[in-house]
Amino acid sequence: MGIQFIHVNTYGRSASNGKSHTIKSIRDEAMREPNATPHIENPSPDINELLYGQDLDSTIADAEKYAESMSTTFMQKQKDGTEKEVTRGMRKDGQVMMAGVFSAPSDMSDGHWNEYKQELINELREQFGDRLKTVIEHNDEPESHYRQSVERGAIWADQRHRHCHFYVVPRPGERMDEVHPGHAAARIAKDEGKLKGEQNQAYKAGMREWQDKFYDISRKYALARLGPQRQRLDRPTWKAQKEQLLIMSKMLKDAEAAQKLTDKMIADAESKAAEIIEKADASVSVKIAEANEKAASAESVKQNADAYAKRVRDKYKPVELALEAIRKEPKLKLPQLTNLDKIASIFNIKTARVKEYERITETLKQREDKIKMLEKQLKTRDSSMKRREEVISRKESEADTARNDALRMRKEAEKIKERANIELINNKNQVALVKFESSKSINELRSKVQEFERYCNKIESENQELREELEALQPQQQRSGPELNM
């Protein structure tokens, strides 16, 4: 476990105010140009891995364009009293680009480093938007050169380590103190009429707040916000804090994993439910369309049959009337049957037409039976559709159950996260208590030291009095010496 390290600074086209670097020297160091990296034994430009945005040369060109966009035009009065339009460009040492770096301790695994740097890049994108131009990764610098921090209380081991450089260019017309978090806070303090010292305090507060935003990410990877010396912690307390950070990091990652799993389960359940409902709706629509089509076909057959029966009845109605007249007519006497053969032929024709009518009636009956059969099939399909609706309802119920389970898991994940936050607060309280007890012990020790100093001063004073008494007794002994000899 290590400490969060992220740093940012501003640079101009030429050096000023004690700054030895410019945008060109920053570019040369990043691109491993000759004589630009004396701290690296064998620099190689091939180790530059572009993680986000454009190449660094394009970013330097954007910084130059930004400087050109900050030129101002005004009317200047001449000696002869006339006014002349004058364009004044940005100063050469004006700040035109922000360059920063973030790194991770050497004991961080490759998988965690890939996740960590991607989260930091996303945070930079959220903060700076399209101002963030380039992010590159280096892994050829010795760690002891890169980070020798008094806050850590020790120098890192001399080994290669991974870190990323990021570069930010303001938009045309923007001031640098609108983009840099520390300078922005100082500018606000200046606009409020605060003194220079208060502006410096505002700058520091703005940078601390900026660092705290990144610590919301770093603490998930068991990184400390401050080192032991900055917190005035002894080694056992620092070791205990590191163990607590590791536990808290694991809890936060477990909570995040549970949240992702919950979201995935909810999304899967919703997708599955939507798919089931969509398929059921499509199937039901198809079946309903088929049933409606068959019902329309059956109705059309029935209407055609009824129309055909009506036409047959209308066609053979005169035959029926003739047969009825023959039945009602009394028996003919033999002398009167002069046209018997003719009557017989007419009767045979009428009998054939009656049979045809009966055949047509039978056909109509068969068609009515077929219509009834189709109606029965429609009823069967209706019952099948009802069963399908029941299946859909059951699937929807299962989807609701899965959704409720996912919501329950989300609540459990939120509880885990809440417990992690409570544990974090407790850890902070424990650290504060340890700091308070350490401060109390230091005060008691100081009090004892002061008491011991007072005691030493008292002994010294008494010794001084004894020396003075001895010095006063020495002349008397010298005077009394001859008298004793006599």
Read off the pLDDT of residues 48-86 as tens digits, 9 standing for 90 and up. Answer: 789 999 999 999 999 999 998 888 777 888 888 888 887
Residue 386 has pLDDT above 70, yes or no: yes
Please determine, for residue 461, whether its predicted confidence score (pLDDT) is greater than 70.
Answer: yes
Contact 91, 170 (CB under 8 A): no
State the Cα–Cα distance between residues 400 and 408, nearest whole angstrom: 12
pLDDT tens, residue by residue, 273-319: 677 767 766 766 776 777 677 767 767 766 776 776 677 667 666 65
User: Higher pLDDT residue, 335 or 164?
Assistant: 164
The pairing of strands 95-103 and 160-168 is antiparallel
Question: How would residue 167 be classed by pLDDT, with cut points 50, 70 and 90?
Answer: very high
* pLDDT given at position 483: 46
Q: What number of other Cβ atoms are within 10 A of residue 163's Cβ? A: 19
DSSP string, 455-483: HHHHHHHHHHHHHHHHHHHHHHHHHHHHH
| Predicted confidence (pLDDT) per residue in 228-282, tens digit | 554 555 555 545 555 555 555 555 565 566 666 666 766 776 677 677 767 766 7
pLDDT of residue 244: 55
Position 478 confidence tier, pLDDT thresholds 50, 70, 90:
low
Q: How far is CA 169 from CA 106, 172, 184, in A?
A: 30, 9, 15
Please write the tens of the pLDDT for every residue from 416-430. Answer: 878 877 877 877 777
For the chain, the average pLDDT equals: 76
What pLDDT was estimated at residue 353? 65
Task: Decide if pLDDT at 348 tops 80.
Answer: no
pLDDT band at 358; cut points 50, 70, 90: confident
pLDDT score, position 60: 94
Which residues are CB-neighbours of 258 under 8 A, at least 6 positions away? Answer: 409, 412, 413, 416
pLDDT at 467 over 70: yes
Using pLDDT thresholds of 50, 70 and 90, give the confidence band for residue 45.
low
The two structure tokens encoding residue 356: 């045809």
Report the percent of the chain where pLDDT is more than 70: 70
Q: Is 376 helix (H, G, I), strand (E, B) or coil?
A: helix
Phi, psi values for residue 99, rounded to 5°: -130, 135
Name which residue leads in pLDDT, 180 or 392. 180
Of 112-121, 201-210, 329-338, the range with the lowest mean pLDDT is: 329-338
User: pLDDT value at position 472?
Assistant: 79
Q: Closest Cα to residue 402, out of 256, 252, 255, 275?
A: 275
Model confidence at 144, pLDDT cuts 50, 70, 90, reads very low
How far is 99 from 245, CA to CA, in rounded Å? 30
Mean pLDDT, residues 458-473: 82
pLDDT of residue 206: 93
Among candidate residues 156, 155, 167, the one with its CA nearest the CA of residue 125 = 167
pLDDT at residue 400, rounded to an integer: 83
Cite the DSSP H helix spans in 171-234: 181-191, 196-218, 228-231
Q: What pLDDT sits at residue 325?
A: 64
Judged on CB neighbours under 10 Å (0-12, 13-18, 19+), 62 is: buried
The CB-side HSE value for 208 (13 A sphere, CA atoms) comes to 7
Residue 153 has pLDDT above 60, yes or no: no
- Quick one: tokens of 476? 């008397």
How would residue 437 be classed by pLDDT, with cut points 50, 70 and 90? confident
Q: CA 467 to CA 96: how far, in whole Å?
A: 74
With a cut of 60, say whether residue 444 has pLDDT above it: yes
| pLDDT > 60? residue 476 | yes
Q: Are residues 399 and 276 in contact, defined by beta-carbon separation less than 8 angstroms?
A: yes
CA–CA distance, 241 with 1 (Å, rounded to integer): 10
For residue 482, pLDDT beyond 60: no
The pLDDT tens digits for 90-132 are 888 889 999 999 988 887 888 888 999 999 999 999 999 999 9
Dihedrals phi, psi of 102, to nearest 5 degrees: -135, 150
- The answer to whether 265 touches 404, Cβ cutoff 8 Å, is no
- Average of pLDDT values for 28-42? 77
Measure the CA–CA gap between 89 and 92, rounded to whole angstroms.
9
